[in-house]
Amino acid sequence: MELPKNFYRARKLETMVENQTSYTMNHAAMHVFETHQTAESVLLQFDQPVLASMIKGKKIMHLRDKQSFDFLPGESLILPSNEVMCIDFPQAKVQDPTQCLAMAISEEMIFKVISIMNDTMPRADEREWDFMDYNFHFTNDNGIYQIIQKLLFLFTEDHPSKDVFVDFTLKELIIRILQANTRKVYLDKSDQICSNNRIAFVVRYIQENLSQPLTIELLSQKACMSESNFHRVFKNEMGLSPVEFINNERIQLALRLLKDPSRKIKDVFMECGFESRSYFNRVFKKHILESPKEYQNKVIS
């Protein structure tokens, strides 16, 4: 992720620790924080829900009721309003500052989007969408990465309609984050909630049967839903089609298997449930941007 040139033209350096450059729109404010020297126990708090996303460098985050963790480029963190962050900057330098985006989004905007989702994107078992009320730390998927990069551009450009552009883009960001949160909950807690959640039950079944054929017909039967309804609800909740989700999980399994130098590519693709080596290679390269052999050579060298 990169800051646009307009940012550097407008920003002023007034402090070496968490120098703040801010842009305010109708329903959100974007703050870019830059730290140019090592520091510890820096406190930060916002009165609205916040998306924090690392741009450059490293932070160590200390949050309420959560173990300390490294916060790195490509990762984001959702914080509820009035959450106090205590932050260390172990690597910040004058010529190589730590940079982080913090986007405060109005609760009015968030709940308006959630209302639209409940009207148009129904979940299984009549459950409703709601905003998570805890700290959600995740790696940006490609969709979320592209939206954050677009928002960096929109906030810093000089355009008479940028409030409208930002509002539309924020709505997509909120939807994708809620779907990403749902995926994480189902992946991490499927064994705990699968007894009363049909999509969680299917997620657990997929996790336990990656080497087996997994069809929409079979999975919809497991969910006790029609194929069309299952496909629609699954995609609404997860932000991915069932096939995309299955391929993601199979690639994650392949990554783990390929770290073993004794594993042959021909055995790995079969253990992961891919029908052919050519399809496995194509899906793997789409996700990882290199072939299975290139990846294995890199991780075991």
DSSP string for 44-101 = EE-SS-EEEEEEES-EEEEETTEEEEEE-TTEEEEE-TTPEEEEEESS--SSS-EEEE
- Residue % of the chain over a pLDDT of 90: 77
**Residue 65 confidence (pLDDT) above 80:** no
Average pLDDT of the chain?
A: 92
Question: What is residue 133's predicted lDDT score, i.e. its pLDDT?
Answer: 65
**Residue 192 confidence (pLDDT) above 80:** yes
pLDDT (tens digit, 9 = 90+) per residue, 193-206? 888 899 999 999 99
pLDDT higher for 11 or 230? 230
pTM reported for the whole predicted model: 0.88
CA angle 90/92/96 to nearest 5° reads 145
Mean pLDDT within 158-176: 95
Kindly list the structural domains of the chain, giving each domain's residue range(s) and its CATH number in brackets, ordered by start: 5-181 (2.60.120.280), 197-301 (1.10.10.60)
**Residue 14 confidence (pLDDT) above 70:** yes
pLDDT (tens digit, 9 = 90+) per residue, 203-216? 999 999 999 999 99
CA angle 99/178/183 to nearest 5° reads 100
**Residue 3 confidence (pLDDT) above 90:** no
Question: What is residue 301's predicted lDDT score, i.e. its pLDDT?
Answer: 72
**Residue 93 confidence (pLDDT) above 90:** yes
Question: What is residue 50's predicted lDDT score, i.e. its pLDDT?
Answer: 93
